[in-house]
């Protein structure tokens, strides 16, 4: 598992929690000052080096504050009532080795007006397939190889305009795309009849994961 570098994690923490970082620096500086000031009274030579002393205190304060905002790289927990341990890793999914699974909707859309650009599905298309038609073609070829059937439906957006992708697949249907030596598995998780947003419940989640694991 490729983990984000410490500097990248620090910058991400400052970006996400700028005020928490600044307040942390102030509090840490106050605490360090409270502790060190009476102790430094026993070292007159150090007291005279004011710039060095204050620089050191500021640096220590920054280190303490930074340690409070650096994001975790992984979280592990035990699933009660089972013998299952779950590990969640944080980082760039596309930088990881091995197979990658990405949730899609029941139509396997490739139109960026339908897919959210910040979703994994959207980021995949932007990163690997600037021409969305290539994604549609590879998905259709994968599903055809496995003789997976779909249902053709009349699909319109909220304004009543027809959407180009009108083949609906069952929740849990999985298509595989082999790209740059990696296998990407797209599994149908959400329902998206009108091209706006996606909906899924707990049963859909379980069904989609079951289809992915088969």
Assess whether pLDDT exceeds 60 at residue 214: yes
Among left, alpha and beta (phi > 0; psi -120 to 50; other), residue 2 is beta
What's the full length of the chain, in residues?
214
State the Cα–Cα distance between residues 56 and 51, nearest whole angstrom: 8
- Does the domain at 92-213 match CATH 3.40.50? Answer given as no
Mean pLDDT lowest among 47-56, 93-102, 114-123, 138-147: 47-56
Read off the pLDDT band of 207 (50, 70, 90): very high
Assess whether pLDDT exceeds 80 at residue 197: no
**What was the pLDDT predicted at 187?**
95
Closest CA to 11 of 62, 70, 55: 70
Radius of gyration of the chain (CA): 26
Read off the pLDDT band of 138 (50, 70, 90): very high
Q: How far, CA to CA in Å, does 95 sit from each of 9, 89, 90, 98?
A: 15, 12, 11, 10
**What was the pLDDT predicted at 121?**
93
Kindly state the average pLDDT of the residues 81-108.
86
Mean pLDDT lowest among 42-46, 79-83, 159-163: 42-46
**What was the pLDDT predicted at 2?**
55
**What was the pLDDT predicted at 135?**
92
Whole-model pTM? 0.68
Task: Please report, for the chain, the start and end positions of each structural domain, with discontinuous segments joined by +.
Answer: 6-69, 92-213
Which residue do the tokens 């329902």 mark? 191
**pLDDT tens digits, residue range 9-37?**
778 788 888 898 899 999 988 988 888 77
In terms of pLDDT, which residue wins out, 158 or 59? 59
Read off the pLDDT band of 72 (50, 70, 90): confident
Q: How do strand 182-190 and strand 85-89 relate by DSSP bridges?
A: unpaired
Q: What's the mean pLDDT when you consider all of the chain?
A: 84
Q: What are phi and psi of 68, to 5 degrees?
A: -90, -15
Q: How far, CA to CA in Å, does 34 sit from each of 31, 54, 103?
A: 5, 13, 52
In terms of pLDDT, which residue wins out, 148 or 10? 148
Q: Which two tokens stand for residue 205?
A: 């989640």
**What was the pLDDT predicted at 69?**
84
């Amino acid at each position: 598992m490729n983990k984000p570098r410490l500097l990248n994690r620090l910058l991400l923490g400052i970006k996400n929690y700028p005020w928490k970082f600044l307040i942390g620096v102030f509090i840490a500086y106050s605490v360090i000052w409270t502790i060190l000031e009476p102790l430094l009274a026993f070292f007159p030579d150090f007291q005279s080096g004011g710039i060095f002393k204050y620089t050191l205190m500021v640096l220590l304060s920054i280190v303490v504050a930074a340690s409070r905002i650096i994001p975790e790289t992984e979280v592990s927990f035990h699933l009660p009532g089972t013998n299952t341990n779950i590990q969640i890793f944080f980082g760039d999914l596309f930088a990881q080795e091995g197979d990658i699974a990405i949730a899609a909707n029941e139509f396997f859309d490739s139109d960026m007006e339908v897919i959210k650009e910040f979703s994994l599905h959207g980021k995949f298309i932007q990163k690997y397939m600037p021409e969305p038609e290539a994604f549609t073609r590879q998905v259709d070829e994968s599903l055809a190889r496995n003789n997976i059937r779909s249902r053709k439906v009349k699909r319109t957006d909220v304004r009543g305009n027809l959407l180009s992708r009108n083949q609906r697949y069952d929740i849990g249907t999985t298509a595989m795309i082999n790209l740059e030596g990696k296998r990407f598995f797209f599994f149908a998780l959400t329902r998206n009849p009108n091209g706006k947003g996606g909906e899924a419940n707990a049963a859909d989640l379980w069904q989609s994961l079951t289809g992915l694991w088969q």
